Chain A
Amino acid sequence: MRAIEEDDRDVASFPGQRPPRASVGSHRIEEEIFGKAYDPKTVRRIWAFVRPYRLKIYLSVAAVLVFTATQLAIPLIIGRAIDSGMTQGGNSTNLLWAVATFAVVVVINYAASWIQESQVGQVAENVLFDMRRAMFAQLQRVSLSFMDKTEVGRLMSRLQGDVNSMQEFLETSVISVGDMVLLVGIVVVLLTLDFRLGLLTLSTMPILFIVRIFWLPPAKRAFWAAHETNSITAGAMAEGINGVRTVQNLDRQRVNFDLFDDKAYNNLLTQLTGSRFAQVMVPIVDSLTGIAMAIVVVVGGSLVLNGGLEIGVIVAFLFYIQRFFDPIRSLTMQYSIMQRAMTSGRRITEVLDIPASINDKPDAIALTRDMDGSVEFRDVVFGYSADRPVLKNVSFKVNPGETVALVGPTGSGKTSAMSLVHRFYEVQSGAVLVGGHDVRDVTQQSLGEQVAMVLQEPFLFTGSVFDNIRYNKASATREDVIAAAKAVGAHDFITRLPGGYDGMLEQRGSNLSLGQRQLLSFARALVADAKILVLDEATANIDSYTERQIQKALLTLLEGRTGMVIAHRLATIRGADRIIVLQNGELIETGNHDQLMEKGGLYAKLYNMNYASFDDIPDELVAQANARAAST
């Protein structure tokens, strides 16, 4: 009866069958491309970014026009050179003039192409970086409730992917102005050179237009499918790399290989379809070019015979025909680029339009270091949505220099209370006062400087240990940093790291243990040297050795500061001057350890259960304790 016997991992009824509950990567990517090609609102927003560079844009549009004109002129000049005396014994002065004109035009062409390309390229890059910065700056101001709900990956794709497709659009749009002018120019020139021959030759042009119109929708779908399946395959590959340990652990290699093969093979098929669509245009364009050339030769030739046409004109015609179809091709492509750009533009403006729900008042004052360091909650009502309050009429005051432990079961509102001191969110009613000032009346910058915060999950940035401890306190010297590290007991392990304080942290400190990262974040708070410290104690199990170190560091950190600690450890709780017990968003008890024990309420009941931490107490036991506390 070994467990292995009931293993159904290989139950496939025929080779190649895939298990019913298996997949690799995700099945689709979230992106839409078949939107409107022109959306005035989005265009206006994009224009706001381009506006600072408008002179450069005007200049490059002018350069494009000049460039196109010279492109048009060159075949004409060649034709003229041939006609004005390029026969045996002809006039070489005329030829000289023609070549001189050609030289001038070429120099102008050179200058115009330089101006156009460099201006457009630089403006596109500038706009791209400006947009990204605007979004990034906006994200620094938006409310945390938005950030709580939004995944970092999704925001990143807007900061990168969407911005990039805007760049593509900006670069090509000026060029497509040139294409349009070129197209019109060729038509005009051909008709002027010889109306009948021009008309005949141009008659091939609508054929290409019609073909493109029918070709474009399925081709675009095919290109999109190739792109999409490619992203999906790449995603599955990335997942395979990131999750490789779990894959090997659970012996999924064979199944995953086959599933990956499905995706990769599907991508191969869509890529081939895409290639077919792209390449089928080549013989069509070439045949049309051939037809146009044949028309010029036959009809033009007989016109020459009748004396109605000069040979130079035929040469010029043949030149134009060879560049005839390029603008049509790129213009139809431009349409898809515009569609993509509009979608991206809309998504970018969405980010820019997220309201920054918390703003400084115009007359906000700066909170200074000489404030008394008290924290007061006055009838605070707060919730993440209006109908579900997390804190219900909570009032308490933390006196300067006092350490208060916030205690309560999960969901009691401890973390929310802590966030309010820092004005991460706005209260629904009541007020939070820091140093006697309503947090809404002071600048957020100065509030941040006076209220230091240590989060439950220590977060480190890529960079050196030194940079991480100093963070944005530019005035902190190396000595300050080392002193802080010593004070929290992090100095020893830092000096043992390769590079010491200047050693780079790998992948946000993944080479450090959780406890060590915790100590670094303590040191960071110590360097910030704020009057008030708000701290969310880590719940995760840290080994007992580091745990002691952290307890000692906490003591140092709270020295001479007002402290609000969300406490999980009994040692921390018992050491606090005062304990505030929260439950379901209400303050139910307050007092020091001895007072609360004497009172025999919820705190006493929970404490007597002998758990190492309040968070370890199972929900139903909390409920029981609650019931008992209520009955006494």
Chain B
Amino acid sequence: MTTDKAGRVHSRGDARAHVAAAHAGKGRGPLTRIALYSLRHPWQAAAAIGATIIASVLQLLIPRLLGHAVDQAQGILDAGADGAEQALFWSAMTLLGVSVARGFFTLVQNYYSESVGHHVGYELRLAFYDKVQRLSYSYHDKVHTGDLITVGLLDLDGLRMFFATGLVRVVLLSVLIGVGAYMLLTTDIVLALLALSFVPFVAWRSSVAQLTLRATWLTLQQKLSALSRVMEENLGGIRVVRAFSGADFELAKFDHASKEALALAHERVHVRVRNTSFMTFSFFFAMGLVLWAGGNKVIAGEMSVGTLASFLTFMTILQMPVRQLGLMVNSFARASTCGDRFYAFLDQPLAISDAPGAPELKVTEGTLRFEDVRFSYEGATHPTLDGVSFEARAGQTIGIVGAPGSGKSTLAHLIPRFYDVSGGRITIDGQDVSKVSLQSLRRAVAVVQQDSFLFTTTIENNIAYGDPWAKETKIEKAAESAQLHNYIMGLPAGYDTVVGERGVSLSGGQRQRLSIARSLVLRPAVMVFDDSTAAIDAGTEHRIRSAIRRYASDRVTLVISHRLSSLLHADTILFLEGGQIVEQGSHEELLAQGGRYRALYDLQTRPTEDIEIGSAAQ
């Protein structure tokens, strides 16, 4: 897909410019930042604001014109004046013209303020997505995916809407209320004060109500997500629930969570109703006062019926914007908190990025070296890796084994720079991995992870994930090597079967095989199996290994595994303990040494102490 419906050929420059602009203004308040960002569309913003002013002035003219027309009618009645009909006609035409013009300018106002919002939303989304992809593992380790999604959806929305619901509304409401009040006050000050008496009440009530509603909304969202969690876990763990006959218990849990949410939902209805009813009432109350006082003025001959009518019409026009004051206050509050979170995310420093002018990694011999590598996780008291050194040449397979927490996976994650070493260095053909460009490094190193993520797309696209230009034959070959081809061919849609969240679900072993195929497509210089065959049976694993070995002659292979049978054919096996290599050698050598490796081997192949389960029962 190179062009979209509008025929626009995508240029990367455009999107990249939006991303860069979103990062500007660090250190400024979120409202200033989003306001300035919205003004990156100066023509649309100007059209929106200009039209707002014109439309609100026109809107204010309508009661005047109506009042005028009523007076004319009255005049006709009183005097039967000549030419009255013509005057009426012109009055009507002006009214019509103003109405049409107001409609047009309201259209311009609404459309362009929404348009600015949509553009801002689009651009912020790009910036958000880009940032997600750039932040390193250490950031994603700390942050809940659910929280990130909230930032990208809800917080971004709060910012996007700020121009239309906040800024434009400020203009709209100040013109309507300000100019309107001025016009009334200069006509008849007493009546005007009566007519405007509802304004402070409604403005105050509506602001309080909106802020309360927002606060309860946020709590309600929390309660509802607690409720969803109860449901989701119940459905996901339905077998456990059934096994323990826990249905009643689960329903009680559901009711508990549900009751809390329902109470809050009722509370919200209550807040809303109390305030809308009160606002309507105070409005009509003021109208009653105007009617009474104005009526008396008419009777006393101090005012025309038309002026009274225009006062009343004006009040109906004013009612809406005054109620909207609350929405405006809310929009500011929302944009401010959403903006705090969103920009805090966007301003996250990148722990791992290219050094300026970093050269490409040039793989020649394909030699991987660890030189006294040290690593500690943020906030950890003990180092995870404490001076690890080894060398691996192309064609070699290095096995890594050790207890959980000995630093095996960490070691794997340091090579493609998912984390940076705290001390020492890792080189590929003499080039420090932290000095070369990330892109070239990650293309040279493939890590087959323990838990691989399946994307919602076809199996073929999933295998080609790292190389979406790959030819079909290459994909099939990778699947064959990973012992997945036969399974795929057995599926009704074959390679076109959609997997992932919305597709066919694969078993743990199948997922791991797919993940292996994914890496095989890439033909990397360094390939790391990070305990990625745990869910694959030993026989299949064996077949995968022999299939891969044919291509492994120009590649370093690192195999991390609990299962010693996976490591038997490694050229060298490293035994890690407490972040250090404590034993090193081939399988035979390590067995002969009779150390920790030997003990582990004995434990796995044949349990030395038989646990007599049955005897305990008797």
- Contact between B92 and A260 (Cβ–Cβ < 8 Å)? no
Give which listed residue, B89, B126, B236, B258, contacts A129 with CB less than 8 A: B258
Task: Chain A residues near B28: list those with CB within 8 A.
Answer: none
- Contact between A314 and B73 (Cβ–Cβ < 8 Å)? yes
Give which listed residue, A322, A544, A619, contacts B600 with CB less than 8 A: A544
- Contact between A241 and B132 (Cβ–Cβ < 8 Å)? yes
Interface-located stretch among A42-50, A281-289, A380-388, A389-397: A281-289
Task: Chain A residues near B313: list those with CB within 8 A.
Answer: 318-319, 322
- Contact between A4 and B444 (Cβ–Cβ < 8 Å)? yes
Give which listed residue, B15, B316, B604, contacts A257 with CB less than 8 A: B15
Give which listed residue, B88, B269, B439, contacts A297 with CB less than 8 A: B88
B579 adjacent to chain A (CB < 8 Å): no
Task: Chain B residues near A207: list those with CB within 8 A.
Answer: none
- Contact between A541 and B617 (Cβ–Cβ < 8 Å)? no
B611 adjacent to chain A (CB < 8 Å): yes
- Contact between A19 and B246 (Cβ–Cβ < 8 Å)? no
> Which DSSP category, helix, strand, loop or mixed, fits chain B's interface?
helix
5 A-B pairs with least C-beta separation: A448-B245, A618-B539, A290-B99, A286-B103, A283-B103
15 further interface pairs, Cβ-Cβ under 8 Å (given A118-B273, A571-B610): A78-B312, A81-B295, A102-B284, A118-B270, A129-B265, A243-B453, A249-B418, A278-B110, A282-B103, A293-B96, A301-B92, A314-B70, A322-B316, A448-B243, A575-B611
Task: Chain A residues near B103: list those with CB within 8 A.
Answer: 282-287, 290
8 A Cβ contacts from A277-326 to B? 278-280, 282-287, 289-291, 293-295, 297-298, 300-302, 304-305, 311, 314-315, 318-319, 322
- For chain A, the bracket of interface size reads 35 or more
Interface-located stretch among B169-177, B189-197, B331-339, B521-529: B521-529
Interface-located stretch among B368-376, B377-385, B455-463: B455-463
Q: A302 vs B91: C-alpha distance in the bound complex, in angstroms?
A: 13
Task: Chain A residues near B471: list those with CB within 8 A.
Answer: 8
Minimum Cβ distance to chain A for residue B608 (Å): 10
Task: Chain B residues near A82: list those with CB within 8 A.
Answer: 295, 305, 308-309
Q: CB-CB contacts of A75-104 with B at 8 A, as 1s and 0s? A: 000100110011111111001101100110
Q: A144 vs B102: C-alpha distance in the bound complex, in angstroms?
A: 62
B550 adjacent to chain A (CB < 8 Å): no
Task: Chain A residues near B4: list those with CB within 8 A.
Answer: 262, 265-266, 269
8 A Cβ contacts from B268-299 to A? 269-270, 272-274, 276-277, 280-281, 284-285, 287-288, 291-292, 295-296, 298-299
Give which listed residue, A7, A257, A305, A462, contacts B84 with CB less than 8 A: A305
A345 adjacent to chain B (CB < 8 Å): no
Q: CB-CB contacts of B211-236 with A at 8 A, as 1s and 0s? A: 00000000000000000110111111
Minimum Cβ distance to chain A for residue B355 (Å): 18
- Contact between A20 and B469 (Cβ–Cβ < 8 Å)? yes
Of A286, A524, A570, most B-chain CB atoms within 10 Å: A286
Q: A418 vs B528: C-alpha distance in the bound complex, in angstroms?
A: 38
A630 adjacent to chain B (CB < 8 Å): no
Give which listed residue, B74, B148, B243, contacts A453 with CB less than 8 A: B243
Q: A547 vs B562: C-alpha distance in the bound complex, in angstroms?
A: 11
Minimum Cβ distance to chain A for residue B222 (Å): 13
Q: A447 vs B245: C-alpha distance in the bound complex, in angstroms?
A: 8
Give which listed residue, B100, B129, B269, B270, contacts A260 with CB less than 8 A: B129
Minimum Cβ distance to chain B for residue A262 (Å): 6
- Minimal Cβ-Cβ distance residue in B for A298: B92
B452 adjacent to chain A (CB < 8 Å): yes
Give which listed residue, A250, A279, A558, contacts B522 with CB less than 8 A: A250
- Contact between B132 and A11 (Cβ–Cβ < 8 Å)? no
Give which listed residue, B12, B74, B119, B296, contacts A15 with CB less than 8 A: B12
Q: CB-CB contacts of A456-479 with B at 8 A, as 1s and 0s? A: 000101100000000110100000
A357 adjacent to chain B (CB < 8 Å): no
Give which listed residue, A6, A541, A575, contacts B563 with CB less than 8 A: A541
Q: A251 vs B354: C-alpha distance in the bound complex, in angstroms?
A: 14
B607 adjacent to chain A (CB < 8 Å): yes
- Contact between A262 and B1 (Cβ–Cβ < 8 Å)? yes
Q: A81 vs B290: C-alpha distance in the bound complex, in angstroms?
A: 12
Task: Chain B residues near A90: list those with CB within 8 A.
Answer: 298-299
Give which listed residue, B98, B241, B284, B603, contacts A140 with CB less than 8 A: B241
A55 adjacent to chain B (CB < 8 Å): no
Minimum Cβ distance to chain A for residue B299 (Å): 5
- Contact between B70 and A311 (Cβ–Cβ < 8 Å)? yes
Interface-located stretch among B198-206, B249-257, B568-576: B249-257
Task: Chain B residues near A247: list those with CB within 8 A.
Answer: 133
Q: A63 vs B15: C-alpha distance in the bound complex, in angstroms?
A: 54
- Contact between B613 and A576 (Cβ–Cβ < 8 Å)? yes
Minimum Cβ distance to chain B for residue A215 (Å): 14
Minimum Cβ distance to chain A for residue B148 (Å): 5
Task: Chain A residues near B442: list those with CB within 8 A.
Answer: 248-251
- Minimal Cβ-Cβ distance residue in B for A449: B245
- Contact between A109 and B284 (Cβ–Cβ < 8 Å)? yes
- Contact between A448 and B242 (Cβ–Cβ < 8 Å)? yes
Minimum Cβ distance to chain A for residue B527 (Å): 10
Q: For the complex, count residues of B whose C-beta is within 8 A of A.
A: 189
B188 adjacent to chain A (CB < 8 Å): no
B535 adjacent to chain A (CB < 8 Å): yes
Known: A88-B298, A311-B77. A122 touches B266 (CB 8 A): yes
- Contact between A242 and B119 (Cβ–Cβ < 8 Å)? no
A194 adjacent to chain B (CB < 8 Å): no
8 A Cβ contacts from B454-501 to A? 455-457, 460-461, 464-471, 475, 501
Task: Chain A residues near B522: list those with CB within 8 A.
Answer: 7, 250
Task: Chain A residues near B524: list those with CB within 8 A.
Answer: 3
Minimum Cβ distance to chain A for residue B160 (Å): 10
Tell me the total A-B contact number using a CB cutoff of 8 A. Answer: 545
Interface-located stretch among A154-162, A172-180, A183-191: A154-162
A210 adjacent to chain B (CB < 8 Å): no
- Contact between B455 and A455 (Cβ–Cβ < 8 Å)? no
- Contact between A18 and B2 (Cβ–Cβ < 8 Å)? yes
Minimum Cβ distance to chain B for residue A590 (Å): 14
- Contact between B115 and A558 (Cβ–Cβ < 8 Å)? no
- Contact between B246 and A471 (Cβ–Cβ < 8 Å)? yes
- Contact between B238 and A453 (Cβ–Cβ < 8 Å)? no
Q: A424 vs B238: C-alpha distance in the bound complex, in angstroms?
A: 11
B540 adjacent to chain A (CB < 8 Å): yes
Chain A to chain B contacts (Cβ below 8 Å), 9 pairs: A23-B455, A250-B465, A269-B4, A275-B114, A547-B603, A556-B616, A558-B613, A575-B611, A621-B539
Q: A410 vs B106: C-alpha distance in the bound complex, in angstroms?
A: 69
Task: Chain A residues near B186: list those with CB within 8 A.
Answer: none
Of A24, A255, A256, A318, most B-chain CB atoms within 10 Å: A318
Task: Chain B residues near A109: list those with CB within 8 A.
Answer: 280-281, 284
B542 adjacent to chain A (CB < 8 Å): yes
- Minimal Cβ-Cβ distance residue in A for B94: A294
Task: Chain A residues near B148: list those with CB within 8 A.
Answer: 241
Q: A16 vs B12: C-alpha distance in the bound complex, in angstroms?
A: 7
8 A Cβ contacts from A407-466 to B? 422, 424, 444-449, 451-453, 455, 459, 461-462
Q: A474 vs B246: C-alpha distance in the bound complex, in angstroms?
A: 11
Q: A577 vs B274: C-alpha distance in the bound complex, in angstroms?
A: 72
Give which listed residue, A95, A151, A241, A255, contacts B145 with CB less than 8 A: A241
Task: Chain A residues near B531: list those with CB within 8 A.
Answer: 541
- Contact between A453 and B468 (Cβ–Cβ < 8 Å)? no
Q: A60 vs B10: C-alpha distance in the bound complex, in angstroms?
A: 54
Known: A244-B133, A245-B137, A315-B70. A403 touches B563 (CB 8 A): no
Q: CB-CB contacts of B321-356 with A at 8 A, as 1s and 0s? A: 000000000000000000000000000000000000
Minimum Cβ distance to chain A for residue B95 (Å): 5
8 A Cβ contacts from A53-88 to B? 74, 78, 81-82, 85-88
- Contact between A268 and B70 (Cβ–Cβ < 8 Å)? no
Q: A297 vs B258: C-alpha distance in the bound complex, in angstroms?
A: 57
Q: A239 vs B502: C-alpha distance in the bound complex, in angstroms?
A: 12
Known: A249-B447, A275-B118. A544 touches B603 (CB 8 A): yes
Q: A401 vs B467: C-alpha distance in the bound complex, in angstroms?
A: 58
